[in-house]
Amino acid sequence: MPRPPSPHFCMKISKGWRVECESAVADIFDKQLTAVMQHATRMRPRAVYNALEARGGEVFLGGKRLVMAARNDYLGLSGHPRVVAAAADAARRWGASASASRLIGGTLTLHEELEARLAAFLDAEAVIVTTTGFEANLALAPLLGRGDIVFSDKANHASLIEAVRLGFADRRWYRHSDMADLERKLAVADPDAAKAILTDGLFSMEGDLCRLPELVSLARRYGARLVVDGAHDIGLLGPGGRGVTDHFGLPDAVDLHTGTLSKGFGSIGGFLAGPAEVIHYLRHTSRSVIFTTSIPPASAAAALAALTIIESEPERRARAFEVARQVRDGLRGLGFDTGESVTPIVPVITGRKELATALWREVLTEGVFTSAVSAPAVPEERSLVRLSLQATHTDEDIERILVAFAHAGRRLGLIPTGPPPVPVQPMLRETLLDWVS
């Protein structure tokens, strides 16, 4: 039988035990979500952590088919028959798990094949594959030593932020994509210190790109290494799908790439790509590499199959961008603010998190599943509804998305009134309203 917690903790109920506080001692469990988050997480359906049956560009929720516009499967490869078959074959051959870390028995020939293929694809000397994209960024921490200085965009992904916190380097945060602010901070930094600039390639919340040409110029001028997280752009951007360097025509601009296999590659896992000596160093010093079980065989095989498709089917990238263009232009035409997005990540910026949650809910009742995003993922004043569009979205899906936002935006007073668009499925809203209530 579990023991009751020590009474000096101020806990009301724990594992069935009621404990009275003997004194007002601080308690690590005495924390609460904000009022807005409490509301959003107790809604049915919730704005986060919904159990869904999703595949491709659709999702089934409450027994009804909705357009799925919240997954990062940009090229629609997670359900591609060749990707699924490769994963199944690998599971049958190697089992469900490698059951050990890369360092001590968890490295399969499949992992080494994936690393070699990724290195060739990215024209890198070496690659190490990690279990997740988050862990790939955490693996940077040993490079950020005492006396070093790291400059990080304030809008970088949480995993890059955590890497900076894990390292011992002095930290300098610059305003999002503000090259003048970055240069001011570089100019006053110790000229003899080792320096690194960290940035997302494609920023995941608002769909804008890093200013790579300017970043390259500043890095070279001030002797800093440039590290780019290609989680959302590798596989998607550029003529060959190699990310922002391919998009900007700067193949040798980045000193070290990190990335994930869970977006454009439709699998799970992460990687670091760069100079062989640096990758060798990180293999033997990065705790997120050494102390975690390696990527499952099925995931590695799925990523390999996806990479073959990425290299051979550029039309998938073209379709993803065409879907995004039509949706973005349509939303702007309705009067929504979609920021500076030029990619399949399309934000609808509401400014207030209460409005973002309300818009998410109303769009859901119209048959489109999106993401409501607020602080800390974005600044509180830039709360938004995020659409993540896929090559597998059809023209009918695009129409349904625009109709849903038109109806929802007008009901909430976010956009001007106008001739009401004709719903694609007139009965869907009534059915989902009953389910949401």
- Which residues are marked as active site? 204, 232, 263
In 3D space, the residue among 52, 89, 74 whose CA is nearest the CA of residue 262 turns out to be 74
* Residue 262 amino acid letter: S
Q: Are strands 195-200 and 149-153 parallel, antiparallel or unpaired?
A: parallel
Burial 153-181 (b: 16+ CB within 10 A, else e): bebbbebbbbbbebbebbebbbebbeeeb
Q: How many CA atoms lie within 13 A of 252 on its CB side?
A: 1
Q: Dihedral through CA 297, CA 303, CA 306, CA 310, nearest 10?
A: -160
CA 215 vs CA 87, 122, 152, 186, 300: distances in Å: 38, 19, 11, 11, 32
Q: Which residues pair with 388 in a beta bridge?
A: 345
Structure tokens at 218: 């500043």
Q: Check if the beta carbon of residue 403 is closer than 8 Å to that of residue 425.
A: no
d(CA 148, CA 146): 5
Longest dimension (CA), the chain: 68
In 3D space, the residue among 195, 183, 182 whose CA is nearest the CA of residue 148 turns out to be 195
d(CA 29, CA 203): 33
Tell me if residue 340 falls in helix, strand or coil.
coil
d(CA 285, CA 89): 33
d(CA 297, CA 69): 28
